[in-house]
């Protein structure tokens, strides 16, 4: 059997830019999640990563503070999310806390929220 490879630059050899862009976005999100988890651990916070859902749970498993990536203001931002409480609309279950590039700001705000919860109990 003979197999011929098309010449370089042939349309059949060009990668699908949409597929490459999609993979790069997923890899960037995974790296961002790992970065936030590492930043929180460096501040002494218990952390659980969920790469499938794209979530970092920070704090005690009984009352975690959830951080996730979502679009906001035309870019990707860290959002802080917590369980919905009776009487509150679901839209209030999360707030944007910082652009994805400002991981230390996101970690600082999450640590602040966790310390507030400890004082509430």
pLDDT tens by residue, the chain, 121 residues: 334 444 455 444 445 455 445 557 778 888 889 999 999 999 999 999 887 777 899 998 888 888 988 888 888 899 988 666 666 666 556 889 999 999 999 999 999 988 875 545 4
| Main-chain dihedrals φ then ψ at residue 51, nearest 5 degrees | -65, -25
Give pLDDT, residue 73: 84
Q: Is 43 exposed, middle or buried (0-12, 13-18, 19+ CB in 10 A)?
A: middle
Give pLDDT, residue 23: 53
CA 70 → CA 78, 95, 117, distances in Å? 7, 10, 24
Q: Which residue shows structure tokens 């944007």?
A: 96
Output the pTM of the full model: 0.70
Q: CA–CA separation, 44 vs 116, rounded Å? A: 16
**Per DSSP, which regions of the chain are E strands?**
47-50, 55-58, 65-72, 75-81, 94-99
């Amino acid at each position: 059997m003979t197999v011929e490879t098309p010449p370089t630059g042939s349309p059949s050899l060009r990668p699908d830019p949409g597929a490459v862009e999609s993979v790069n976005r997923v890899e960037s999100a995974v790296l961002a999640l790992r970065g936030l988890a590492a930043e929180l651990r460096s501040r002494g916070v218990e952390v659980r990563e969920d790469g499938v859902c794209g979530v970092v749970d920070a704090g005690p498993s009984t009352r975690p503070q959830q951080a996730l990536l979502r679009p906001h203001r035309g870019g990707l931002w860290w959002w802080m999310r917590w369980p919905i409480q009776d009487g509150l609309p679901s839209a209030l279950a999360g707030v944007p806390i910082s652009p994805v590039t400002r991981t230390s700001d996101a970690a600082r705000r999450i640590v602040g929220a966790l310390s507030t919860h400890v004082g509430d109990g």
